[in-house]
Amino acid sequence: MLAAIATRTPLVTTNYGKAIADLAPAAEKAGVSIMTECGLDPGIDLVLYARAARQFDTIASIDSYCGGIPEPKAMARPLCYKVSWNFDMVLVSQNRDSVMIEDGERVAVPAGQQHDNRFIHEIEVTGLGRLEAFPNGDALHYVEMLAAAMGLQRSGRYTLRWPGWSAFWAPLKELGFLSEDKVPGTSASPREFLGRLLGPQLQYSADEKDLCVMRNVFSGIEAGRRKTVTSELVIERDLASGLFGMSLGVGYPASIVAQMLARGEIAKPGLLNPLLHVPEGRFFGELAKRGIRVTETVDWD
């Protein structure tokens, strides 16, 4: 990041914008564009936020779901999960606080309660069945970027897994198995130990697919009528190349936006965000060329 600013080289990163917010003044001064949060989630979902906002006068609720799961035949019990990205980071993400919006108010879900809270629920996905959703992200952070969402009544960002994930992890978390503190007399924390123990047991074989499932549900008012817009996508592993669906879902958005920066289609300096600065029409057109297609349904009340 610092090298990009020093050399005035446009950059795309999947890192959270809040984590590098202190670099914004230097990037603006250098006149360099740094696109943050440009992967799958966050990334594709944020461009969908921007597209949805243009379809409403006011938005009342946003429910955002995304997760990487094994196809049914590849499920490894009891977790029903396999590793399609850095398993250590999967465990780290389970120590992340979440922020929800309920009845127009900010509601904090501490990391310790991530797998034991009233917001955990299931959704039905066509072709897959029921998936478990649990809070994992700061919904308020993105809502604040949407003018149409001022006065939003409900919002949550959820990770998707096969059912049983939270029931598995809740007692382990309570017992300290996801603690970052070093175990006395060792050089590893319980979380690091779990990563080394479980990671090798949760690998995909060459003929098994991972699935990236995303759903975003927006409800609000347009022209005095209530409506709901639901966008969905599923990305699966390409067995011919071996590339995981997760790799495609993260890599393609970054590549597409990097090319936009290189061509000067995005030129605003500073730390940028897909929700505000990526042209959605061209972006989704390029994703479609690469086999990633978002389906959208609109329901009116």
d(CA 60, CA 223): 14
Chain segment 184-197, per-residue pLDDT in tens: 999 999 999 999 99
What mean pLDDT comes out for the span 257-286?
Answer: 96
In terms of Cα–Cα distance, which of 255, 274, 270 is closest to 32?
A: 270
Q: Is residue 17 pLDDT above 90, yes or no?
A: no
For the chain, the average pLDDT equals 95
d(CA 120, CA 115): 8
Asked if residues 210 and 83 have their Cβ atoms less than 8 Å apart, the reply is: no
What mean pLDDT comes out for the span 186-215?
Answer: 96
What mean pLDDT comes out for the span 223-252?
Answer: 97
| Residue 76: per-residue pLDDT | 83
What mean pLDDT comes out for the span 151-180?
Answer: 96
Q: Using pLDDT thresholds of 50, 70 and 90, give the confidence band for residue 106.
A: very high
| Residue 282: per-residue pLDDT | 96
The model's pTM is 0.95
Per-domain residue ranges for the chain?
Answer: 2-300
- Which fold, 2-300? Dihydrodipicolinate Reductase; domain 2 (3.30.360)
Q: Both tokens of residue 150? A: 């001022």
What mean pLDDT comes out for the span 201-220?
Answer: 97
| Residue 15: per-residue pLDDT | 87
Q: Using pLDDT thresholds of 50, 70 and 90, give the confidence band for residue 104.
A: very high
Place of tokens 């590549």: 255
Those residues whose C-beta lies under 8 Å from the C-beta of residue 212, and which sit 6 or more positions away, are 40, 66, 67, 68, 84, 233, 234, 235, 236, 245, 246, 248, 249
Q: Is residue 77 pLDDT above 90, yes or no?
A: no
Q: Is residue 19 pLDDT above 90, yes or no?
A: no
| Helix or strand holding residue 93 (H, E) | helix 87-93
In terms of Cα–Cα distance, which of 212, 220, 169 is closest to 63?
A: 220
Q: Both tokens of residue 178? A: 């996801």
What mean pLDDT comes out for the span 146-159?
Answer: 92
Chain segment 45-68, per-residue pLDDT in tens: 999 999 999 999 999 999 999 999
The DSSP secondary-structure symbol of 25 reads H
> Beta partners for 229?
218, 298
Q: What percentage of the chain carries pLDDT values higher than 70?
A: 100
Q: Both tokens of residue 100? A: 């929800």
What mean pLDDT comes out for the span 17-32?
Answer: 92
* Side-chain half-sphere CA neighbours of 266 within 13 A: 30
> Beta partners for 198?
none
| φ/ψ of residue 80, rounded to 5 | 55, 45
Q: Both tokens of residue 274? A: 């897909």
| Residue 11: per-residue pLDDT | 96
Q: Is residue 36 pLDDT above 90, yes or no?
A: yes
| Residue 133: per-residue pLDDT | 98
What mean pLDDT comes out for the span 234-258?
Answer: 98
d(CA 8, CA 196): 39
